[in-house]
Amino acid sequence: MIDKQLITNRFLKYVVIDTTSDPENPAFPSTEKQWNLAKLLEKELIEIGLEDVELDENCYLMATLPSNIQVQVPTIGFISHIDTSPDFSGINVKPKIIENYQGNDIILNETEKIILSSDYFEDLKQYIGQTIITTDGTTLLGADDKAGIAEIVTAMEYLVHHPEIKHGKIRVCFTPDEEVGKGAHLFNVEKFDAEWAYTMDGSQIGELEFENFNAASAKITIKGKSVHPGYAKNKMINSILISNDFISSLPTNEIPEKTTEYEGFFHLHTIKGDIEETVLEYIIRDHNFDIFEERKYLLQKIAFDINKKYENDCVFVDIKNQYFNMKKMISPVMHIVDIAEEVMNDLGIEPLIKPIRGGTDGSQLSFKGLPCPNIFAGGHNFHGRFEYIPVESMLKATEVIIGIAQKVAEKYA
């Protein structure tokens, strides 16, 4: 149904454009280079025949595919993000294409001896016989979420060229800065004007998600006192050693590498320090809101206990909520998940309904009044050198978008 070479070329065109976002910059977008892809997409949406194409001052790109039926049905939307993660380099991406993959290890970079191992990354073996796009081992690929963009654009183009497929009004939006937690902050839900939407931002084929972590960030600042080590007895306060007290006070098994499914965690991702000051940066995650609140309380309690131990206010905790579990907002409208599940079944795709161990723009959008489950975009191993995507998964995701548009028209016409 969908031209394989078309979507491959479209995806490759997008991923070579560096759109890395910056968590330290409060501007929208956080990096000027995100405009490069946004402006290309603006032109492309106009060329394929969408209407109301608008790229606003904050780098949010919206457009409309008008209804081609006489009766009014719900307006739905599809959303993906332009930026790629700052966790790994997205500069000078050089994708590699492996045709008719046979289940073997893939040499990403012979010089650097970087190998995508099919034993370590066992999901690879489910794509035997397919076309795999990988990195060259030195950058991420950017399938998160340029695959989603390619799928939405390709689906809209297909619907324009095939008016025999009946559908209602469809809105699309491409957002900046999702990877730094700001993708939905300036999203104008009223202007988007859809009853519900889907983010095309999941991973492997079949994923369908309407639950995600409750999330917060925590900055732990530990103040010390530097004194010459030869005269330090009862005088020096070594913030680095106190930070070790703090770290070891948290549950050792509640970390990302030891948890799965609904299990939450504390993730220490940055340490910077010397004797005078050490800063620990954590992210806190849990699907259960009450346990999420307990996790935040535990950090405060550990700080209190350490301050009491040292008889000094040396540990300071700053916690900021980031997003919440969208299940609360989607549960009353589960029919929107059911529609996506029906379409997947119709297409012979096994739905993998599971909680997101992370977040998407959809979680924040759901709380802003736009219920927004998440659908697979097809990639694996996001945010690193071992990222890859089967082209066939992109084709299936595109078919899901088209199928949802058609299914909504059938159900509500």
DSSP string over 312-363: S--EEEEEEEEE--THHHHGGGTHHHHHHHHHHHHTT---EE--BSS--HHH
**Whether 178 is catalytic:** yes
Q: Which is catalytic among the residues 144, 145, 177, 178?
A: 178
Q: Which is catalytic among the residues 18, 42, 83, 207?
A: 83
Separation CA 227–CA 224 (nearest Å): 10
DSSP string over 73-98: ---EEEEEE--B-TTS--TT---EEE
- Per the CB < 8 A criterion, the answer to whether 398 and 2 are in contact is yes
- Per the CB < 8 A criterion, the answer to whether 205 and 123 are in contact is no
- Per the CB < 8 A criterion, the answer to whether 276 and 225 are in contact is yes
- Per the CB < 8 A criterion, the answer to whether 285 and 214 are in contact is yes
- Per the CB < 8 A criterion, the answer to whether 159 and 167 are in contact is yes
**Whether 83 is catalytic:** yes
Q: State both tokens at 153.
A: 């654009």
Active site residues: 83, 178
